[in-house]
Amino acid sequence: MLTGRTALVVSSQCRSYTTKHGLRPVPVLPNATLETFRKDAFEPATPALLPRQTFSQLPAIPRWFSPASDRTTTLNRHYLARFGATIVPLEISNNDKFTRIEQSLSFFLECVNASSSTYDVRPSRYFSAYRPGARAIRRTSQSNTFFSAAALTPPTARVYLAQASINDLPRALRDDLPVPELVLKVGKGDVYDSSIWIGQAPTYTPLHRDPNPNLFVQLAGTKVVRLFSPNAGRAIFARVQEIIGGSASATMRGDEMMQGAEKKALESEVWDDDVESGRIGFEAELNKGDGLFIPKGWWHSIKGTGSGMTGSVNWWFR
């Protein structure tokens, strides 16, 4: 339940956009002090936005990303290519197909660079194994093009660097993402885990819940987060299982939520504004430097919107 003070913050500091079907704007804290964060967000276990641009000084923001001429964001390939041998987890989706692999960061950078190109009709057995439906061409002494720009088939596969642990990154990249003081001091002082998420919009993370409190920070681009209390989220999940005739566990989530009937039903229940489901929850829009607190057990789904690159980092803490 919102306190009187928190309700005042909601009315005076939240963005002016209006959400639909019971979704309210996430309250914005009046400041980013440890005392305020603990009293108005962490202890009552309610979602909260830190004041806008609280995390704009993270070194990763200017080092990993570059502004583009069309007001979108691109990756700073020159900087990130120095760490190209680093192995990272990738999620690859192509229409209704989905797979997870581990590949080098340089492979991901090539995929991002090629994402606006079109495919050549000649198949590549190696590459299609990693990016379903993709068709590549060979490099020549005259061309270093990853895909043929002459073909008419538009690319449909998307590659998302998802849930890559910061601890698995090289020291220089870890130093670009120092753990925020709030994470280190508000709870028991230790980080359960952390992740980075980088991909070209639109991106999508289906409805799920985490076993630890979560500080989610936007590094580039725009993401919209929809959140539901433990009871409300459980009801949405149960309704989806009833719709598809499934019996999946709400605790152990696998690839079933990323493809097929469950993915479609989950996305519809959470994101279709014409679905009369009686849901009650929160919505937040995050831009570069914004931070969102997601309490333990709260269900949430995240979409990267607009165009260009989106980047995020989160810390789960005890």
Average model confidence (pLDDT) across the chain: 82
Q: How many CB atoms lie within 10 A of CB 175?
A: 12
pLDDT digits (tens, 9 = 90+) for 13-68: 444 344 455 799 999 999 999 999 999 999 999 999 999 999 999 999 999 999 98
Both 143 and 250 in one domain: the answer is no
Both 223 and 176 in one domain: the answer is yes
Tally of domains within the chain:
2
Both 26 and 112 in one domain: the answer is no
- The contacts of residue 31 (CB under 8 Å, 6+ apart) are 51
Of 135, 156, 177, which marks where a domain is finished? 156
pLDDT of residue 210: 92
Both 211 and 144 in one domain: the answer is no
Both 33 and 93 in one domain: the answer is no
pLDDT of residue 179: 96
pLDDT of residue 113: 81
Specify the pairing of strand 291-294 against strand 214-220: antiparallel
Both 145 and 259 in one domain: the answer is no
Range with the poorest average pLDDT among 1-5, 49-53, 70-74, 75-79:
1-5
Q: Is pLDDT of 129 > 90?
A: no
Both 215 and 273 in one domain: the answer is yes
- The contacts of residue 238 (CB under 8 Å, 6+ apart) are none
Both 91 and 34 in one domain: the answer is no
User: Is residue 133 included in any domain, yes or no?
Assistant: yes
Higher pLDDT, residue 242 or 257: 242
Higher pLDDT, residue 231 or 247: 231
Is 271 within 8 Å of 303 (Cβ atoms)? yes
Both 260 and 114 in one domain: the answer is no
Of 156, 181, 198, which marks where a domain is finished? 156
Residue 269 to residue 189: CA distance in whole angstroms:
36
Assigned token pair, 129: 């194994």
Both 226 and 123 in one domain: the answer is no
Residue 78 to residue 56: CA distance in whole angstroms:
21
User: Is residue 279 included in any domain, yes or no?
Assistant: yes
Sign of CA dihedral 192, 302, 237, 164: negative
pTM of the model: 0.82
Domain CATH for 13: 2.60.120.650
pLDDT of residue 316: 96
> Residue 175 sits in which domain range?
4-60+169-317
Q: Is pLDDT of 153 > 70?
A: no
User: Is residue 190 included in any domain, yes or no?
Assistant: yes
Residue 8 to residue 65: CA distance in whole angstroms:
36
User: Is residue 238 included in any domain, yes or no?
Assistant: yes
Grade residue 203 by pLDDT with cuts at 50, 70 and 90: very high
Of 156, 181, 200, which marks where a domain is finished? 156
